[in-house]
Amino acid sequence: MAMSAVLLSLSRTIHPHPPPPTKTKPSFFKPINNSISFDIPITRRLAILTTFTISTTPFIHTSSACAESFLSGISNTKSWFQFYGDGFAIRVPPQFQDIMEPEEYNVGLSLYGDKAKPKTFAARFASPDGSEVLSVVIRPSNQLKITFLEAKDIADLGSLKEAAKIFVPVGVTLYSARTIKIKEEEGYRNYYFYEFGNNIQHVALVAAVNSGKAFIAGATAPHNKWDDDGVRLRSAAVSLTVL
């Protein structure tokens, strides 16, 4: 199933009333005051409202006023829990529950040398009623675009417009598309942001590439809930950090 299709269908595939979280969380679910150090400091994402640079393109918008409008649609997520996954971190909206099944954490592990089945999701959280979902998918970048070279940045998959063919499903309405540049120790990393939907679902999606892997975060909700909850869902997707 295409990555965009996986993200778009999330709220229709989860249990409508996920069980309450247990007291013991996986060891990699850390509070924001965690002291683990990384080669690339995660603090570069904590002040996202003031640190990222938006590069507008003729694809969707052409004026600086549109960049300001995008910033106004993002809230500060510093007080949220930060989930650490395999090569990424993401902020989880308050009251969202981990809905990964125990067996999903072990998918991909092999004791006998047989070909491991890739996990569908690297992380998945839902609102208490199950209608709003935040998820992360990881895939080899050469599965998204055939290339003999290891992709080191999402720009290696094409421009913002070209990559939309990979991440945005056919037949939906594309509301916005942005390139978000995050300053790192060795320069800038590009993140592609797309917001799209139909009469049923609304999705905010952020994608980035590192060391040949594509990291895709998607926040989805029923279209009629987006006016109320769109800011926090968009903010959650934008909080994706490649480590």
Q: Read off the pLDDT of residues 154-188 as tens digits, 9 standing for 90 and up.
A: 999 999 999 999 999 999 999 999 999 999 888 89
Given pLDDT bands bounded at 50, 70 and 90, which one contains residue 41? very low
pLDDT at 43 over 50: no
φ, ψ (nearest 5 deg) of residue 93 = -60, 150
Q: How far is CA 57 from CA 49, 66, 173, 190, in A?
A: 20, 11, 18, 14
Q: How far apart are CA 64 and CA 58, in angstroms?
A: 12
pTM comes to 0.73
In contact, 167 and 177? CB cutoff 8 Å? no
Q: What SS3 state is found at 168?
A: coil
**Max CA pair span of the chain:** 57
Percent of the chain with pLDDT over 70: 63
